Amino acid sequence: MPKQLRTLAVLAIMVALQSNAKFTPNNTVESNALAEVRSPLAESLIRIPPWVQLLDSDRLGVGWMTKSPADGVVEWTQDTARDTTVWRQAWFSEDGLRTANSTLQKAVIEGFDPAKPLRLRAKSRPINSFNPYAVTFGEPAVNAELTLPPRQREDGKVSFIVFNDIHSRTFLYPMLLPLIETPVDFAVFNGDVLHDPKTEADICDNLLLPMSWFASRSIPCFFLRGNHETRGAKARNLRDYLLLPNNKYYGALTFGAARVLLLDSGEDKPDEHAEYSGLVDFEAYMQAQAAWLERELSSAAFNEAAWRIAVMHIPPDWRADNLQGRYGQKRINALFAPLLDRGRVNVVISGHTHKPEVIEPCPDVRRGFRWPVFIGGAHPFKNATVIRVDANQQTLHVKTLGSDGQVMHELKWHR
């Protein structure tokens, strides 16, 4: 982007954020970073370019948004010869109907070779009229091509990063991403990346555009809810914008040598708390998720993995009883911690407390909690962190990087 246009973009963003001052950049570096995250926003038919979400090691969900009602497909290929490329098509359908006449577009890509790179681009046609027996389309639009690295690497190698508690300060992503130094396979948004989503603009600006920004850098994402994503007028519509494994906010995916449990830790207060206005039902939801987790522990995919990693927003913490832990943390301790012990999980990665630390396994073996918990930091930038995980068949390496690029916490395992 030319310098003059970049300056205008920054000024426009600053004006737009005046009504939401607590998330406003504090300096030129943060303003430029925010402009970078929002640079994919376009005035063409494809308003928000594709974001890529993980559904499994050999399934990808792709979403994008159009300026006006349209249809959409993803064209994808693994051909390396660009002059003779044969494009395949993928789309999303539900109950026999493909997505159409909407500004929100989706597709699911499957049947590809996970050991090869994948190229993709979104294609949409504006719908000028939608009659029962004749639909009139306008001129199609195609976005710039994206390239994703192989999902499967030698020796079971996998690398991923975890962000937490961004709280709609999306300018933190371009400031933190350079800290990781070498490429990764995917990123996990580990809760409270959105701060109480109230409008579609909140979701677009603070979740979809960042995921699109990561996709433009060949990094797919997985979104995990935190307690703040369950609040706000649009919390119940958030699923509409996402592609989720089994249409759940939790799941378990295999990446190389690692089985990664992606868990929804729910709200942090009891269902009857006044702030929920009697409109939540997390007790039943968390029980159902625990039942699913117990089944997962018996699966071949879980037991055959070299490493088992759990990622969840609210950290399990054996110290909670003595430190007057909050309700959500105590519920995680009661429901999930015994199952994580039974499953011989190697490490848990969390956020929520805004205090970067590593909780060591409980010294009282009888109480369980036989795994360390890495907790990431939060805003402002000087306190923010990114957690990096690298694994292969022989080793697992987890480290927390501070905003100065220094390693704050680090553990390694060997088989």
Tens place of pLDDT per residue across the chain (415 aa): 444 444 444 444 443 443 455 788 999 999 999 999 999 888 899 999 999 999 987 899 999 999 999 999 999 999 987 777 889 999 999 999 999 999 999 999 999 999 999 999 999 999 999 999 999 999 999 999 999 999 899 999 999 999 999 999 999 999 999 999 899 999 999 999 999 999 999 999 999 999 999 999 999 999 999 999 999 999 999 999 999 999 999 999 999 999 999 999 999 999 999 999 999 999 999 999 999 999 999 999 999 999 999 999 999 999 876 656 689 999 999 999 999 999 999 999 999 999 999 999 999 999 999 999 999 999 999 999 999 999 999 999 999 999 999 999 999 999 9
Inter-residue contact 399 to 407 (CB < 8 Å): yes
CATH code linked to domain 154-414: 3.60.21.10
Report domain extents, the chain. 3-38, 46-50+64-148, 154-414
Q: Is omega for the bond preceding 380 within 30 degrees of 0, making it cis?
A: yes
d(CA 72, CA 75): 10
**Peptide bond before 210: cis, by omega within 30 degrees of 0?**
no
The pLDDT score that the predictor gives to residue 42 is 87
> How are beta strands 158-163 and 186-190 bridged, if at all?
parallel
Please state, in angstroms and rounded to a whole number, the distance separating the CA atoms of residues 321 and 211.
37
CA distance 118 to 146: 8
β-pair partners for 104? 65
Q: Please, which residues bridge with residue 119 across strands?
A: 77, 147
How far is 77 from 242, CA to CA, in rounded Å?
23
Token match 């987890």: residue? Answer: 398
C-alpha to C-alpha distance for 308 and 301, rounded to whole angstroms: 10
Which amino acid is it at 23? Answer: F
pTM for this prediction: 0.93
- Please answer whether residues 137 and 71 qualify as being in contact, where contact means their C-beta atoms are separated by less than 8 angstroms: yes
Cα–Cα distance between 314 and 328 in angstroms, integer? 7
**DSSP notation for 117-151:** -EEEEEEE-BEEEEETTEEEE---EEPPPEEE--S
Q: Which has the closest alpha carbon to 368: 348, 389, 397?
A: 348
pLDDT score of 21: 57
